[in-house]
Chains A and B, each alone.
Chain A
Amino acid sequence: MPSAGRATIGVSAVALFLAAWEIAPRLSVVDPFFTSLPSRVLLAAVDVVRSGTFAHDIAVSLMEFASGFALALAVAIPLGLLLGAFPTLRDLIDPPVMALYATPQLALLPIFVLWLGVGMGSKIAVVFLGAAIPVIVNTMAGVRQVDRSLVLAARAFCATRRDVFVRVILPASLPAVMVGIRLGVSRAILGVVVAEMYVSQEGIGNQISRLGSAFRVDRLLVYVLLVSVFGLAMTTLVRKLEERVA
């Protein structure tokens, strides 16, 4: 199907959903107290943006995401490469890494709060752990799955160990690293929002939690929508990068 046709279908679906959402409460099919209305959400968005804490909450959440994620990449990519390249090291570290991979990073939030307090530190730790583990696991797998014949070919042309690593292993495992990063993005966003919902005094997750307790579904949805748009944008960005390295 041509992309124009697909776009039309997509836009129509959204329009249809919004229309149903707007009309259903007005016809008393559902209670607007629970669902709000698109028009109210739109008005709430204006209020939210005008409110004094909006910019601050966004800044806090973004900061937590960015620092945790940057830290995760800085640690996880080199570590994953190292673990992929040295089997002994891998045997040593693999069990705890796999255990962490299977554990929701949020389960450790109480410990992080104990160590780092209720501020940004504990959120950064949650983001870090959430993003780092999939990057480590996928990078490691990427290195291990490098086609041995490529390494042999490089060695046949007198490649040094460094050449093999830089010119074969690294580029060959890049697509797997990107898969890890894409998985890491969603875990990191989840980490920020949920950690803020549980223990914090600021940030988007904190607002969502407060607005929920105050039964302000319209304003709550403004923040949820923001998180969705951000997640979509980040995932699309990583996908574009993936296409370039593949």
Chain B
Amino acid sequence: MTPHIRIEGLTIAYEKPREGGTFIAVAGFDLDVPRGMFVTIVGPSGCGKSSVLLAIAGLTTPSAGRVLVDGEVVTGPGRDRAMVFQEFALMPWRTVVENVRFGLELQRWRGEDLTARARRYVDLVGLQTFEHYRPHQLSGGMRQRVGIARALAVDPGILLLDEPFGALDAQTREAMGDELLRIWEQNKKTALFVTHSIDEAIFLGDLVVVMSKSPGRIVDTIPIDLPRPRAIEIMDTSPFVECRRRIRAGLGSEASHA
């Protein structure tokens, strides 16, 4: 059976605008993601983990290698993939429910009341009493709930989350991870979640991909066999601690080479 997402030798290089030459963000990245799996990618900042996500989203063109979704090569954005951004990327002039409608409008959804559909997803992330608020009136955690609702509303097969909780404080971050899992358990979409938090990566993922810095390569992939649904307490169990130790080792050995 073909994997839902197959990444083959993905290499992404950027031109350096100032000093010239090229910067290799990602080098020879291979990964197969089965349908319904929650994959987390963890690594230091600047290791190209976000670039991998942008390539899957079709928002950046690989310099070499390719990304296949359901066996088809990705050449641009598609209705089968939706993205959640670290900086939320909500339209400040739109209300909560209008922001959730945004993706539906752009994808030209027909034959159903878009506002009613948007409202259902606003309810799903628990913002029903805030649906007419503007983003600037919301806390960071609430804004990212809007971002998640916007992505889910277009019913994508694949959810791409680019450090979605990176701009939140530690407590909000834990609560949001918990909330994300609750929502994800309901339909188990294929998810790729980029983070620099080791604990977050283990807590959320079925598989943790550990990346090294410049050029970004995979140094380890660790299956996480912790039972679901998961609760915060799981972070104190010995399998979790063992995973944490292994990831640290992967990142650490990389650091000592640098």
Contacts and interface: CB of A to CB of B under 8 A. Distances in A.
B89 A153 contact: yes
A26 interface: no
Contact of A154 (B87, B88, B106): B106
Contacts of B204: none
A56 interface: no
Among B88, B102, B105, B154, chain A packs the most CB atoms within 10 A around the CB of B102
Interface in B101-119: 102-103, 105-107
A168 B91 contact: yes
B85 interface: yes
19 contacts: A149-B85, A149-B87, A149-B88, A150-B89, A152-B85, A153-B85, A153-B102, A154-B102, A155-B77, A156-B81, A156-B82, A157-B82, A157-B102, A158-B78, A159-B106, A168-B91, A171-B91, A172-B92, A172-B93
A177 to B, nearest CB: 13
Contacts of A226: none
Nearest to B54: A152
B149 interface: no
The B contact surface, by secondary structure, is loop
Among A147, A158, A245, chain B packs the most CB atoms within 10 A around the CB of A158
Interface of B: 57, 59, 77-79, 81-83, 85, 87-89, 91-93, 102-103, 105-107, 154
Nearest to B105: A167
A171 B99 CA distance: 13
Interface of A: 147, 149-150, 152-159, 163, 167-168, 171-172, 174, 245
Contact of B83 (A153, A163, A167): A153
B89 A171 contact: no
A213 B52 CA distance: 76
Contact of A157 (B87, B88, B93, B154): B154
Contact of B77 (A150, A158, A171, A245): A158
B56 to A, nearest CB: 11
B156 to A, nearest CB: 10
Given A171-B91, A171-B93, A158 B107 contact: yes
B88 to A, nearest CB: 8
Contacts of B91: 150, 168, 171-172
A158 B79 contact: yes
A168 B106 CA distance: 11
Contacts of B83: 153, 156
B89 A149 contact: yes
Contacts of A155: 59, 77
By Cβ-Cβ distance, the 4 closest A-B pairs, closest first, are A153-B89, A157-B103, A157-B106, A149-B89
Contacts of A152: 59, 85, 89
A245 B105 CA distance: 21
A156 B93 contact: no
A149 B107 CA distance: 18
A244 B45 CA distance: 40
A150 to B, nearest CB: 6
Nearest to B79: A158
A159 to B, nearest CB: 5
B76 to A, nearest CB: 8
Contacts of B93: 171-172, 174, 245
A95 B102 CA distance: 38
A172 B91 CA distance: 8
Contact of B57 (A154, A156, A172): A156
A147 B59 CA distance: 16
A167 B87 contact: no
Contact of A156 (B59, B87, B88): B59
Contact of B106 (A150, A167, A171, A172): A167
A175 to B, nearest CB: 9
A80 to B, nearest CB: 19
A20 B146 CA distance: 59
A157 B59 contact: no
Contacts of A174: 93
Nearest to A147: B89
B225 to A, nearest CB: 32
Given A149-B87, A150-B89, A168-B91, A156 B77 contact: yes
Contacts of B102: 153-154, 157, 167
A46 to B, nearest CB: 48
Among B78, B79, B92, chain A packs the most CB atoms within 10 A around the CB of B92
